[in-house]
Amino acid sequence: MNGPIDAPPSLEAEALCWPARRAPILRGVSLAVRDGEMLGLVGPNGSGKSTLLRLLAGLLPPARGEVRLLGRPLRRTPRREVARLVALVEQQAETLERITLRDAVELGRTPWLSALRPWGAEDDGIVAGAMAAVDVQHLAARDWASLSGGERQRAHIARALAQRPRILLLDEPTNHLDIHHQLALLELVAALPVTKVIALHDLNQAMRCDRLAVLQAGRLIRLGPPAEVLTPELLRDVFGVRAAFVTDPEDGARLLRFLSIS
């Protein structure tokens, strides 16, 4: 699924730094997310992927630089308005409250509701649709504590979808999932009809993205289509591994094979 190449940026980062002093995690990251694309963030542990996502979501104020949402500075956009456009699926957001899966998904309607605009039939429909999109309707009445890791992750995505966002930010959503659920989840995310920015660890999974942004020590060092970005040289320099591309004889797909640590 390739995004349109010359669509205007829906979310832009310009020279983002965080924090300003002492051990900066991000040092001047600029990138523009294109409308409808699936942009992958890759990089070693501690390279700043999560921080970048949190800045893009407006959860952290940039120490320097600016995030623009549909051309408007994020800092000057009310939180509620941001939440109607951007949804974030965090790594391992957990709760001890005894809520059901449906309760968790219904939270996604928060930015659209107020004391004067109470819950309505429309919200019921959106929540049902969001649960259907990630195939958790049958779990709606289950207690959160009784859900598996994969089910919880899908519930979080349903919650994010219930926000009806234009842009979905996902922080390593396949973490802690078994291989079947990893693939199923990625498939599902790729098919969602929204703009996606997704932090990923598995580089072969990252090959599915329309574009990849490679972060190293807080800098954006490469941005482009996966096949151009993930070269053996880059993998050696950034991840410290020797790797080669092999072609699967079954379907001709290019796969990364890791040979050894360099």
Partner 1 sequence: MTRLAARWLGRAALVAVLLVLAVLAGTSIGETAIPLPVVAQTLANKLYGAGYPLDRIDEGIVWNYRLTRAIVAACCWAGLAVAGIILQALLRNALADPYLLGISAGASTGAVLVTVAGVGAGAVSLSLGAFAGAVTAFLLVALLARAAGGGQGARGAGQIVLAGIAGSQLFNALTAFIITRSASAEQARGIMFWLLGNLSGARWDNVATALPVALGVTLVCLWHVRALDAFTFGADSAASLGVPVRRVQVLLILAASLATAVMVSIVGAIGFVGLVVPHAARLMVGVRHTRLVPAAALMGAMFLIAADVLSRILVPGQVLPIGVVTALVGAPAFALILAHGRTAR
Summarize as ranges the residues that interact with partner 1 (CB under 8 A). Answer: 54, 57-59, 78-84, 86-88, 90, 93-99, 103-104, 107-108, 110-111, 113-115, 118, 120, 145, 163
- Beta strand spans in 48-133 (E): 64-69, 72-73, 86-89
Identify the helix (H) or strand (E) that includes residue 201: none
Select from 262, 261, 254 the least CA-distant residue to 228. 254
Q: Cβ of residue 137: shortest distance to partner 1, in angstroms?
A: 20
Residue linked to tokens 């921080």: 51
By beta-carbon proximity to partner 1, the closer residue of 59 and 190 is: 59
- Give the separation between CA 100 and CA 83, rounded to whole angstroms: 22
DSSP tag of 187: H
By beta-carbon proximity to partner 1, the closer residue of 165 and 226 is: 165
Q: Cβ of residue 242: shortest distance to partner 1, in angstroms?
A: 38
Q: Report yes or no: 176 and 206 within 8 Å, Cβ to Cβ.
A: no
By beta-carbon proximity to partner 1, the closer residue of 145 and 191 is: 145
Give the largest Cα separation in the chain, rounded: 61
Q: Cβ of residue 117: shortest distance to partner 1, in angstroms?
A: 10
- Give the separation between CA 69 and CA 220, rounded to whole angstroms: 20
- Give the separation between CA 77 and CA 66, rounded to whole angstroms: 12
Q: Cβ of residue 77: shortest distance to partner 1, in angstroms?
A: 11
CA 122 to chain centre: 26
By beta-carbon proximity to partner 1, the closer residue of 41 and 82 is: 82
By beta-carbon proximity to partner 1, the closer residue of 80 and 257 is: 80
Q: How far is CA 210 from CA 9, 32, 105, in A?
A: 14, 13, 28
Q: Cβ of residue 85: shortest distance to partner 1, in angstroms?
A: 10
By beta-carbon proximity to partner 1, the closer residue of 25 and 86 is: 86
By beta-carbon proximity to partner 1, the closer residue of 40 and 58 is: 58
Q: Cβ of residue 160: shortest distance to partner 1, in angstroms?
A: 8
- Give the separation between CA 18 and CA 48, rounded to whole angstroms: 9
- Give the separation between CA 103 and CA 143, rounded to whole angstroms: 9
Q: Cβ of residue 70: shortest distance to partner 1, in angstroms?
A: 16
